[in-house]
Amino acid sequence: MKKAVISLAMLIVLCLAFGFHTLAADKPPEKGGVLPVINLPIPKEPAEKAYLGLSGDGTFKIPQIKTNVVIIEIFSMYCPYCQKDAPGVNELYHRIEKDSDLKNRVKIIGIGAGNSPFEVGTYKKTYTVPFPLFSDKDFAIHKAYGEVRTPYFVVVKINDDGTHKIVHSQLGGYPGAEPFLQLVLESSGLK
């Protein structure tokens, strides 16, 4: 029994050690590339689950979201520009949800770099963020995304065969809901 515990502990330590190496990226995701492989927890909230077209428990990968385009915002509750842009990103969500044509074709998620679930919850509550936010407490995702500064936006096109491609990425400089939506539609070919 003791042996089994030690072996398990060793396995965990080794997984962690190699995890850091395989996940760490030198540069941010770029246009034309693919996303780093990241497992996110399937939201418990039924509305969020439905929004992403997911079911059950456990984890999912971003290209499994049932949609054509995903906008990923890497943010932090501690980041002044993320705070300033938050209402504008919410507006983008509402603009898409009101458009029956776009509603099921474009989805938004946020990943809180270095933010605990409590901190992500604080950000969500403060700005009434309507789309799903995920905690990246130990910066694992942030590292996989090349330690970008925040806010960082990545737009991904998901193909019918399950493959995907990054069609746009940008650091800061959020131009407002409508110009950003146009940029998303053009870069992804939805328009």
Partner 1 sequence: MNKKRLTHLIFALGILFVLFTAPFAYAISEAYKENIYRVGTLKPVDSVLKVKVGDKAPDFTLPVISGEKFSLSQYRGKKNVVISFVPAAWTPVCSDQWPGYNIIKDVFDQNDATLLGITVDNIPTLFAWTNQMGKLWFPVLSDFWPHGAVAKKYGVLRSDGVSERALFVIDKKGIIRYIDVHDINKRPPLEDLVGALEKLKK
Residues from 106 through 135 that contact partner 1 (CB under 8 A): 113-114, 116, 118-119, 122-123, 126
18: which strand partners?
Answer: none
Taking CB under 8 A as the rule, does residue 64 contact partner 1? no
> Quick one: 67 or 115, whose CB is closer to partner 1?
115
* Exposure class string for 4-25: b at 16+ Cβ within 10 A, else e: eeeeeeeeeeeeeeeeeeebbe
Considering only residues 68, 76, 169, 188, which one is a binding residue for partner 1 as defined by CB under 8 A?
76
- CA–CA separation, 127 and 148 (whole Å): 22
- CA–CA separation, 142 and 38 (whole Å): 10
- CA–CA separation, 189 and 191 (whole Å): 5
Burial class (CB in 10 A: 0-12, 13-18, 19+), 158: buried
- CA–CA separation, 141 and 151 (whole Å): 14
> Quick one: 81 or 104, whose CB is closer to partner 1?
81
For residues 54 and 188, the answer to whether their CB atoms sit within 8 Å is no
Taking CB under 8 A as the rule, does residue 51 contact partner 1? no
Considering only residues 40, 70, 74, 109, which one is a binding residue for partner 1 as defined by CB under 8 A?
74
Considering only residues 38, 69, 71, 82, which one is a binding residue for partner 1 as defined by CB under 8 A?
82
The rounded radius of gyration (Å) of the Cα atoms in the chain is: 17
Q: Which two tokens stand for residue 42?
A: 């399937």
Considering only residues 25, 49, 83, 190, which one is a binding residue for partner 1 as defined by CB under 8 A?
83
Q: Looking up tokens 């943010």, which residue turns up?
A: 75
Residues from 129 through 188 that contact partner 1 (CB under 8 A): 138-139, 142-143, 147-152, 171-172
Shortest spacing between CB 147 and partner 1, in angstroms? 7
Number of residues binding to partner 1, judged by CB under 8 A: 42
Footprint of partner 1 (CB under 8 A): 3, 6-7, 9-10, 13-14, 16-17, 20-21, 24, 74, 76-84, 113-114, 116, 118-119, 122-123, 126, 138-139, 142-143, 147-152, 171-172
